[in-house]
Amino acid sequence: MRVIDNKALLLNLKDPQRVMTVIPQSRLLGDGNVLVKWGLDEAQVLKNLRIRDVPSPILGRYNWPGMYKPFDHQKQTASFLTLHKRAFCLSEQGTGKTGGVIWAADYLLSIGRIRRVLVICPLSIMQSAWQNDLFKIAMHRSVDVAYGDVRKRRQIISGDAEFVIINYDGVEIVEPEIVAGNFDLIVVDEANAYKTTTTKRWRCLNRLVKSDTWLWMMTGTPAAQSPVEAYGLAKLVNPTGVPKYFTSFKDMVMTKVSMHRWLPKPNAQNIVYTALQPAIRHTKKECLDLPDMTYVSRDVELTPQQKKFYDLLKKKLVVQAAGEEVTSVNAAVNLNKLLQISCGAVYSDSGEVLMFDIDKRYKVLREVIDETQQKILIFAPFKHVIKVLHEKLEADGFSTDIINGEVSAGRRTDIFKQFQETPDPRILVIQPQAAAHGVTLTAADTVVWWGPTASLEIYAQANARVHRAGQKNPVTIVRLQGSSAERHIYKLLDSRDHDHSKLIDLYKSLLA
C-alpha cells in the first residue's frame, strides 16, 4: 500500500476485483495494482475487507491544529479512532491519549461526520485535563463544562457548544437533554467506571449509545483487578464479542475454587483481549517521542469543613498582612498553614492535630492508581496524612509502605531495596524531605503529589528519585490541587524560581 497523494491510495492485491466491486470508482492498473479513492468511507470499507494497515485520511488531509505538534503515536491513535465508530484507547497514563482523541474528534467535525462531542470523565480532570487540552489543541472549537446545579447543566447540554465535558455522576441528571442534544460522539475517559453492567451509571450510558453513535472508551488499565471487569466495557463497545449474560462470561474467564473464591483461567487474558476490541494501545516505553517527564494536574474539591477553616484562616492572614510587614519567614509559615488544611491535617500552635475528611482527595488518588500499572510514589508533606493514607491504601488491598522522619535509616534502606527489587510494596508514601537526596526509586514511573512543598529544591530532588539513570519509562508527575494556595505554589515551582521575594509576592497575591 502506498499513498499517492492526499486523495488516493495505490494497493497491490491478489484479488483486486474485491475492491473494484465495493469501491466502483477504483481504477485497475494491472499486475494486481488498483488505485483507490482515499476517503474516510473508502478507508473503512478497506478495513472491513481486512486489508492490513489502512490509514485514515486524517493522515493526509488534516492540518493538526493546536499549540504543539502531535507525537507519532498520537497520530496513530487519531487515525485508528476515525476508522472505528466504537473503539477502545487503552494507552497508558501519560502517553497523551487526550490529545489523540481531540484531534480525531476535530477531524470528524471538520468533515461533517459528527456535530457534537460529549466527553464523560472524572470531576478531577474536567478542567485541568480536558478543557485545558481543548483550549490548546482545538481552540477554534466551542467548549463548555456541564457542572453546577441542574439548571446550569441542562442549559449547557442544550446549548450549541461543540465539545461538552461532564462528570460521570452528572450524566444521569441530564439524560433527556443529552438525548435531545445531537451528540454524535461520546468519549468516556477512565472508562473503568463503567465496568459493572448492573449500575445506574452503566445503564444510563447504554441507553445513550444508539446504533449510529460513535463511542470511544479510554483506560490504561482495563480489567486490572479481575478478568470479569472487561465485561461491562465490552458490552458497550463490542457487545457481540461477549455473551449476553455476565454469569456466562464469568464462567469463561474464571474458575470457582471454593464457595467465595474464584481464580482466572489460564486463557482468561486471551478472552479479555478479544472482548476488548477494536482497540489501540501504546505503553510509555513504546512512545520514544514522549518527553522524559510529563506533568499532570488533577482538581480536588475541598470538603465543607476544609473550606470553612481555609476561609477563616485566609481572612485572619489578610488582616495580619495589612498591619505588619510580610517577611519571607512569616509568608512561608502562613502558606504552610493553608497547605495543611488543603491536604487534610492542620497543626495548631500547641502541636495538636486537627484531621479533616480526606475522602474526596483520596478518591482522586485512587483514580490515578487505577490508571497506572507500574509502581507509584506518593509524596505527602505532613506525617499525619501519611499515616491515614497508609491505612486507607492497605484497607483497599494495596501493598504499601511509608517513609517519614520517624523511620530509621536502616529501615529506610530495607524499604527502598524492597521497592526496587521485589513486587511489594507497590506504593510508597513518602514525606518529601525524607527522600529528597541520594535514593533511586526507578521501579516507579508515576509520582503523585498529595500536596505541594514550597521548596523548589525538595520538589525537584524528590521527582529526581524516579527520573534518573535506570528509569526505563517516561515519568508522569501527577499533582493534586484543591485550593488557591496549592495552585499558587505549583505555579511558583513551575517557574523554577526560589527567590524569597517571589514567595512574598505569591503570598500577597494569594491574599489579594
Mind listing the pLDDT tens digit for each residue in 242-261? 999 999 999 999 999 988 89
Q: How far apart are CA 20 and CA 24, in angstroms?
A: 5
Per-residue pLDDT of 191-247, as tens digits, reads 999 999 999 999 999 999 999 999 999 999 998 889 999 999 999 999 999 999 999
Report the distance separating Cα 88 and Cα 80, nearest Å. 10
pLDDT level of residue 360 (50, 70, 90 thresholds): very high
pTM for the model = 0.87
Task: Answer with the residue of higher pLDDT: 212 or 350.
Answer: 212
Q: Which helix (H) or strand (E) holds 355?
A: strand 353-355
Residue 364 binned pLDDT confidence (cut-offs 50, 70, 90): very high
- 345-347 and 2-5: which strand pairing? unpaired
Q: What tens digit of pLDDT does each residue of 380-437 get?
A: 988 889 999 999 999 999 999 999 888 888 899 999 999 999 999 999 999 998 875 6
- H or E stretch covering 168: helix 168-171
Mean of the per-residue pLDDT values of the chain: 91
- Over residues 453-512, the pLDDT tens digits come to 988 888 988 998 898 888 888 899 999 999 999 998 998 888 875 555 677 777 788 887
Band of residue 1 on the pLDDT scale cut at 50, 70, 90: low
Q: What domains sit in the chain, N to C, each tagged with a CATH number?
A: 2-54 (no CATH), 59-280 (3.40.50.10810), 293-300+355-511 (3.40.50.300)
- pLDDT score, position 376: 96
**Grid-cell match 451528540, residue found:** 183
- pLDDT tens-place string over residues 73-119: 999 999 999 999 999 999 998 899 999 999 999 999 999 999 999 99
Q: What pLDDT does residue 151 have?
A: 95
Give mean pLDDT, residues 436-445: 83
pLDDT of the residue at 133: 95
Angle (CA) 393 399 402, round 5°:
75
Which value, to the nearest 10 degrees, does the dihedral of the CA atoms of residues 75, 77, 82, 84 take? 160
The confidence score (pLDDT) of residue 505 equals 79
| 188, three cell numbers | 468516556
